């Protein structure tokens, strides 16, 4: 570490991560800590125990978001919030989310050890139910906090077993008394594993995340006529697979045309009735389009619509229906600069990058200056029990978080 000043304790952070990873540990080395389960409760309890030991004051809001506060010296300042999530995918890893929370705690522990006061208070936030694996949608706690999701609707949401969010939040003892969304943070900074392959492949330690791709989801259905695979000559068929495959080819070409940050994903594909020797009557597939620039995302959107019309012929109709969207996010310039400067001062290799995945920071960016720090993860794997990051990179990301936090908490 080149910067003059405190440095986080990488060993302590690593040990905390490994200890937290025992809650909901799976046989293959990952974790299963679905939102509002007993494992979620245990991880919250342990986090609060550690925060109290570090002298923090705990606040819980009505959607179960936890805030651990270290006081500042200037009462007029809003808190610098270091947040992420403790819940996981059913077969998740030991870093996704939990790293951002425990790196925040490590920042507070480090400031305590060094006897450093900050002007703004510092808070570590645990955002409830980020993964969307048990309760839909994803990023619930931060979504309600930002006002983009309704608390009432969320509390009524049920999981696949019919258990409601409200009942389960109460059952684990995390219905807080504080209203959701106040006070607003002075800034929000989240450190996270990249969940992609770029930093590792380029041997770069720190990703300075300048924004998040905008996302549009669609359901596509091509409809023709089911006929026998033998007697019906090719020219006489109304085959929806032909139309769908032409459309899919053109959609991939669309991704090429809109540059390296454009994404086109067909994640589900289904032919009905689904018989080897029958021309299907219907082909359905999901379409996920992403781009960092709103204008270009909208161009991709209308291009997809007209491509669908263009392949609707020969007795086959193709319908494309938008089902969900999230606009591109550009993170706060001052927060991004603070992260870049911290990485440079600490002597870490770093590069600007765009997040392809959604995060709590997307919602936070609507209500507070926000940015994110990425570190490499092995093989780019995430949402996987083999998810892994090195102790050095974990420490580096936390150090960048520390110096970013100090800059934001003390600057004029
Ligand atoms: Zn995450």
Q: What is the pLDDT of residue 3?
A: 60
Report CA torsion sign: 327, 198, 408, 126: positive
Q: Are 99 and 53 in contact (CB under 8 A)?
A: no
Q: What is the pLDDT of residue 377?
A: 96
DSSP-based three-state secondary structure for 342: helix
The whole model's pTM is what? 0.89
**What residues flank ion ligand 1 with Cβ within 5 A?**
96-97
Task: Place 195 in a pLDDT band, splitting at 50, 70 and 90.
Answer: very high
CA of 40 to the centre of ligand 1 (A): 15
Structure tokens at 220: 């596509």
At 385, phi and psi to the nearest 5? -65, -20
Q: What is the pLDDT of the chain when averaged over all its residues? A: 96
Q: What is the pLDDT of residue 325?
A: 87
Task: Place 326 in a pLDDT band, splitting at 50, 70 and 90.
Answer: confident
Q: Are 77 and 186 in contact (CB under 8 A)?
A: yes
CA of 218 to the centre of ligand 1 (A): 24
CA of 35 to the centre of ligand 1 (A): 13
Express each pLDDT in 29-50 by its tens digit: 999 999 999 999 999 999 999 9
Express each pLDDT in 175-185 by its tens digit: 999 999 999 99
Q: How many helices (H) and strands (E) does the chain have?
A: 12, 16
Q: What is the pLDDT of residue 412?
A: 76
pLDDT (mean) for 189-205:
97
CA of 143 to the centre of ligand 1 (A): 14
CA of 71 to the centre of ligand 1 (A): 27
DSSP-based three-state secondary structure for 243: helix
CA of 85 to the centre of ligand 1 (A): 7
CA of 32 to the centre of ligand 1 (A): 14
Tell whether the model's pLDDT for residue 71 goes beyond 90.
yes
Closest by Cα among 138, 159, 148, 120 to 383: 138
Q: Are 290 and 263 in contact (CB under 8 A)?
A: yes
DSSP secondary structure letter of residue 92: B
Q: Are 290 and 304 in contact (CB under 8 A)?
A: no
């Amino acid at each position: 570490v080149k910067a003059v000043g405190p440095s986080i304790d990488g060993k302590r952070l690593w040990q905390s991560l490994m200890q937290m990873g025992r809650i909901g540990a799976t046989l293959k080395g990952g974790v299963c800590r679905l939102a509002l389960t007993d494992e979620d409760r245990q991880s919250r309890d342990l986090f609060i125990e550690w925060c109290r030991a570090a002298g923090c004051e705990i606040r819980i809001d009505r959607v179960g978001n936890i805030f651990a506060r270290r006081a500042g010296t200037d009462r007029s300042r809003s808190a610098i919030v270091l947040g992420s999530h403790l819940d996981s995918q059913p077969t998740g890893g030991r870093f996704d989310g939990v790293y951002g929370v425990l790196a925040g705690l490590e920042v507070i522990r480090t400031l305590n050890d060094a006897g450093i006061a900050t002007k703004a208070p510092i808070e570590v936030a645990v955002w409830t139910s980020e993964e969307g694996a048990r309760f839909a949608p994803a990023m619930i706690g931060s979504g309600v906090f930002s006002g983009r999701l309704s608390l009432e609707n969320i509390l009524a949401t049920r999981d696949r077993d019919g258990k409601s969010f409200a009942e389960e939040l109460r059952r684990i003892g995390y219905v807080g008394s504080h209203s959701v969304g106040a006070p607003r943070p002075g800034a929000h900074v989240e450190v996270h594993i990249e969940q992609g392959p770029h930093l590792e492949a380029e041997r770069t330690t720190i990703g300075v995340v300048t924004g998040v791709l905008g996302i549009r989801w669609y359901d596509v259905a091509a409809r023709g006529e089911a006929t026998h695979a033998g007697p019906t000559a090719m020219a006489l068929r109304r085959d929806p697979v032909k139309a769908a495959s032409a459309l899919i080819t053109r959609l991939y070409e669309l991704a090429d045309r809109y540059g390296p940050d454009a994404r086109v994903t067909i994640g589900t594909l289904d032919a009905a009735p689904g018989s080897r020797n029958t021309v299907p009557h219907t082909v359905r597939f999901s379409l996920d389009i992403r781009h960092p620039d709103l204008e270009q995302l909208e161009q991709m959107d209308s291009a997809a619509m007209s491509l669908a019309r263009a392949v609707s012929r020969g007795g086959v109709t193709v319908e494309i229906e938008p089902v969900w969207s999230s606009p591109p996010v550009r993170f706060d310039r001052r927060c991004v600069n603070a992260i870049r400067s911290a990485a440079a001062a600490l002597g870490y290799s770093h590069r600007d990058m765009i997040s392809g995945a959604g995060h709590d920071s997307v919602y936070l960016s609507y209500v507070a200056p926000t940015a994110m720090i990425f570190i490499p993860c092995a093989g780019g794997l995430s949402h996987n029990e083999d998810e892994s990051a090195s102790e050095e990179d974990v420490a580096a990301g936390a150090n960048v978080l520390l110096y970013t936090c100090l800059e934001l908490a003390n600057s004029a």
